[in-house]
Structure 1
Amino acid sequence: MSTGRRTAAVVALAAPLLALAAGFETAVRHFGSFVLFVLAVTVVTLAAWYALTRRGLLRVLAVLAAAAGLLTVVLLGLSLFITQAAMLVVFAVAGRYALGPRKSRAEPAEPARHGVLLINPRSGDGAAERAGLAAAAARRGIEVVTLGPGDDLAALAEKAVSDGADVLGMAGGDGSQALVAATAIRHGVAYVCVPAGTRNHFALDLGLDRTDVAGALDAFTDGAERLVDLGRVNDRVFVNNASLGVYAEVVRSQGYRRAKFRTWGRLLPDLLGPTAPPPDLVFDGPDGRPVSGVTLVLVSNNPYDLSRVGRAGGRPRLDTGRLGIVAARGARPAGEWTASAFEVNSGADVPVGLDGEALLLTPPLRFASLPGALRVRVPRNLAPLATGAALTRRDLNALVRVASGAP
């Protein structure tokens, strides 16, 4: 173990302790200001909730109260906030160096004999065209199939495989990625994800560079292959997550694609206001007891990590064979756990946001993890994944081992 890594581990472990010490020192020396700061944070939280879930004069008053509370928080706690944020950054950066990059499980793969790339030209506001993706694929000897108006993406993927494709790629958003990935696992062919959508969460969690769209094509000609999980609900496959409740209702509403923020503001009072009935969703919690009355259920293909500094909400692994499950009642969490399978019941068809696409599915909704179902190819020269350390027992124990010189 190098001296530099051991030193970085010590620095990383000391940073959160210094942050706690700074908070304690502020609370003791400036007790009155600290109490006022806590009250201001409470006001901001409550006022923001009212601003989201109420209309008319009450929403206006809530916005004003939130603004006043936020100003108070900044004036009283700016220095403390800067200190805490700085310590978290030190923890993440030093911890990243101490723990080193995550080793890739990908194995070198032979170049595709007949690679086919499907392109959704409308995804990401034309990201594929801006990157010159079709021409870049042609230079690599990859067959290009561009999705036209009215085309069935799943049918095009099936035809590509029936015509002899041994590596199937998709340039588009996560919803399109899921459709083509389902075809790849049905026929056992390798799959290439090209980040030409809007957010490209699946590509990011694979370690791809979302700013280098054409560079992802190297997976066809000079790639490495690994197995990753997929999620399934009834007969639909997803690469990221399925959302039930409030988010699903908003996504399926008219006008959402054209004006997302305005749609949220218009619908949230009806969905989360004081007279709004909760969605009719019933399921067993982690303790086996029935849960109902929730407003949100999120089921993800592998659990998200909300504790990591830098990219909270990413999935550090896509091969655990587990679903991540999060439930909430309004702004209050109602549970967070993992499982290999999960079932949701309802008295009517259930709106579902599946990888950002609006669907209406018939219950019961049976979720399952599909461990190692997808043969994913990524560029062989892809840099090892480097992620900041998280404030979890696993990473803290790892840092203690590094600091002590243990393997």
Structure 2
Amino acid sequence: MAGRAPGAGTRGVRGGAHAVPPPAPRRRVAAAAALLCLPAAAAVVVWSLVRNPLQLALGLALIVVAVVAAWSALLHRGVARLPPAIAAVVALAATAALPETRVLAVLAAVTGLAVLSTAAARVAIARDLAPATTARAVGPARRGVLLMNPRSGGGKAERFELEKKARALGVTPIVLRRGDDLRQLAEQAVADGADVLGMAGGDGSQALVADVARRHGIAFLCVPAGTRNHFALDLGLDREDVAAGLAAFGDAVERRIDLALLGDRVFVNNVSLGVYATVVQSDAYRDAKLTTTTQLLPELLGPDARGFDLRLTRPDGSAARSPDVVLVSNGTYHLHSLAGFGTRSRLDAGLLGVVTLTVERARDVTALLSAEAAGNLRRFRGYREWTVREFEIGSGQPLLDVGVDGEALRLPPPLRFRSLPSALRVRTPAGAAGAAVAPHAGPVEAVRALWRVLCGRPARRRA
């Protein structure tokens, strides 16, 4: 790779087989300061509002919202910081607007405490709660090639003029025509000297071209020109600004991420079986996820449903009894609803995520629909999740309906899954988040992490 030296811009890698050292004294002091700021802010409100109990309760609530929102802004990146930051400002303004308060003094004190809390928390835990990366700065591609599926995403490649913009950057565009073999085109591009291989298309195409890049040890680049672009989301790319991904052919950030295998087929997102595989393959699902899911679940899980013969073993050795939904993912999803995946906080843990849903009686369907509508799927009694490096699903059926990165397939069992840790070198634009959009650490986890640091322990519990 031309440009900077291999080690340039390298960020430290956390974890590994080495023992995690205790936090430095300055981090423990910062943790103490961050934890003390919340009760201190509450004390300011109490002092100011003691003459009016109603205002006292409202003021305390606003202060809690302000501090929690400030911490939430700390734990996110890019535009994801804006909503909690705005919430913090609004809460502070509302506190200052309460009648019969010493407005300027309260505002100054509370604002100062919120800023101090956020800054101290950043020193104490922000690095620990951010996703681990092995990112490094790299120079421009010597010979970049971009493969494009013009039919993906309703014609995004043409709409965003990707071919023209690629040529302007000195990148060779290859447009996939009907009847073309995408893998063969990617292999030929490598044989012709490509050192960075890009794909503009859906996640199924991304997986195929990423596999070619992996096999040849060259860098891969994702351009989100598909329909949902879950992979691009978890790489930290802006899915609305499709052409922005082309910038990674120039000065960029490169890191290694995991891929996953189903048999000898690579996938970048997930594999679905059972009900979920049926739901996502519905033509109506793309336009109305929640409505389609709600309509199909009773039919697929009702008393007349034939069920799914899926046989698997949990980590504790117990057998799962023909679950109705199985999802195997490249990395761990934060799954809240069958109507659409959330995000993965990291793509380099070397693990497969497994989720199963089992509906054992008719009333469970109502409970499942309720959890689905509320976006809190994990509260459903038949929900199970775990992580593994390898996994197998058997069945007495000759063929199983399987959704692989959104592509409908029928495959013979047993289905064997395996994680490929750090298998792919992936490039993202220097200005992108460069990782999953945000670590999934909420205020409660932040407080717990601060307390562990204060007590001289690592911010995260070791797995």
TM-score w.r.t. the length of structure 2 is 0.64
Q: In 2, are the aligned partners of 1:166 and 1:190 still within 8 Å (CA)?
A: yes
Measured against aligned partners, the alpha-carbon deviations of 1:137-180 in whole angstroms (never above 9, x if no partner) come to: 11111000111223222222122112221111001111111111
SS at match of 2:382: strand
Equivalent residue number for residue 80 of structure 2: none
Query: CA separation of 1:280/1:212 partners in 2, compared to 1, >3 Å: closer, same or farther?
Result: same
Instruction: Quote how far apart the aligned CAs of 1:371 are.
Output: 0.4
Q: Does 2:327 correspond to 1:347?
A: no
Structure 2, unpaired ranges of 5+: 1-25, 43-61, 77-117, 360-367, 369-380, 459-463
- Residue identity in the other structure for 1:192: L
Alignment of 1:225 with 2:205, yes or no, is no
Shift of 1:320: 0.5
Counterpart for residue 263 of structure 2:
234
The one-letter code of the counterpart of 2:451 is V
Percent of matched pairs sharing the same residue: 52
1:10 and 2:6 correspond:
no
Q: Which of 435, 441, 458 is the matching residue for 1:390?
A: 441
Q: Which amino acid aligns with 1:93?
A: A
- Rounded to whole Å, the distance in 1 between the matches of 2:156 and 2:416 is 34
The partner residue of 1:176 within 195, 201, 205 is 205
What secondary structure is seen at the aligned counterpart in 2 of 1:304?
coil
- The alignment status of 1:92 with 2:72, answered yes or no, reads yes
Residue 151 of structure 1 corresponds to 180
Deviates more, 1:369-378 or 1:270-279: 270-279
Distance in 2 (alpha carbons) for counterparts of 1:9 and 1:133: 47
Against the structure 1 CA distance between its residues 326 and 392, is the aligned structure 2 distance closer, same or farther, given a 3 Å change threshold? Answer: farther
Q: In structure 1, the residue corresponding to 2:332 is in which secondary structure?
A: coil
Q: Tell me the CA shift for residue 84 of structure 1.
A: 10
- Structure 1: segments with no counterpart, 5+ residues: 19-81
Distance 1:9 1:246, change over 3 A: farther
Count of aligned pairs between the two proteins: 339
For 1:222 and 1:322, the matched residues in 2 are separated by: 30
- Corresponding position of 2:382: 333
How far off is 1:249 after superposition?
2.1
1:291 aligns with 2:320: yes
Structure-1 residue corresponding to 2:407: 357
The answer to whether structure 1 residue 186 and structure 2 residue 236 are counterparts is: no
- Residue identity in the other structure for 1:378: T
Does 2:422 correspond to 1:372?
Answer: yes
Residues 252-274 of structure 1 deviation map (CA, whole Å, 9 limit, x = unaligned): 45776688677656643331112
Provide the rounded CA distance (Å) in 2 between the counterparts of 1:88 and 1:280. Answer: 46
Q: Residues 165 and 289 of structure 1: is their aligned pair in 2 closer, same or farther, counting only changes over 3 Å?
A: same
Deviation by residue 1:56-77 (Cα, 9 ceiling, x = unmatched): xxxxxxxxxxxxxxxxxxxxxx
- Paired with 2:34 and 2:154, the residues of 1 have a C-alpha distance of 43
- Does the 8 Å contact 2:153/2:202 carry over to 1? yes
**Residue among 234, 240, 247 paired with 1:205:** 234
Amino acid at match of 1:341: E
RMSD: 3.5
TM superposition shift of 1:379? 1.6
Task: Verify: 1:133 aligned to 2:162, yes or no.
Answer: yes
User: Matches of 2:167 and 2:212 in 1, distance apart?
Assistant: 23
Q: Which residue number corresponds to residue 23 of structure 2?
A: none
Residues in 1 aligned to 2:237 and 2:224: alpha-carbon distance in whole angstroms: 8
**Residue 399 of structure 1: SS of its match in structure 2?**
helix
* Structure 1 equivalent of residue 330 of structure 2: 301
Secondary structure at the residue paired with 1:198?
coil
Aligned with 1:375: secondary structure? Answer: strand
CA distance in 1, matches of 2:451, 2:434: 23
More divergent stretch after superposition (2-11 vs 321-330): 2-11
- Report the Cα distance in structure 1 between the residues aligned to 2:202 and 2:288, rounded to whole angstroms: 19
Distance 1:404 1:123 in 2: 52
1:250 match: secondary structure: helix
The one of 383, 399, 403 equivalent to 2:450 is 399
Q: 2:27·2:453 contact (CA, 8 Å) conserved in 1?
A: no
Name the stretch that deviates more: 99-108 or 238-247.
Answer: 99-108
How many Å separate the matches in 1 of 2:274 and 2:63?
Answer: 38
Q: Secondary structure at the match of 2:396?
A: coil
Structure 2 vs 1, CA of residues 262 and 397 (structure 1 numbering), >3 Å: closer, same or farther? closer
In the other structure, the counterpart of 2:135 is 106
Could you say if the C-alpha distance between residues 350 and 2 of structure 1 is closer, same or farther in structure 2, counting changes exceeding 3 Å?
Answer: same
Q: Which of the two has higher C-alpha Rg?
A: 2
Task: Return the alpha-carbon distance in structure 2 between the equivalents of residues 13 and 148 of structure 1.
Answer: 60
Q: 1:13 to 1:84 in 2, by over 3 A?
A: closer
The CA distance in 2 between the partners of 1:373 and 1:12, in whole Å, is 44
Q: Distance in 2 between matches of 1:167 and 1:299?
A: 29
C-alpha separation between the residues in 2 aligned to 1:234 and 1:361? 10
Q: Distance in 2 between matches of 1:379 and 1:275?
A: 51
Q: Is structure 2 residue 342 aligned with structure 1 residue 313?
A: yes
Contact 2:401/2:410 (CA < 8 Å) preserved in 1? yes
- Match of 2:258, SS? strand
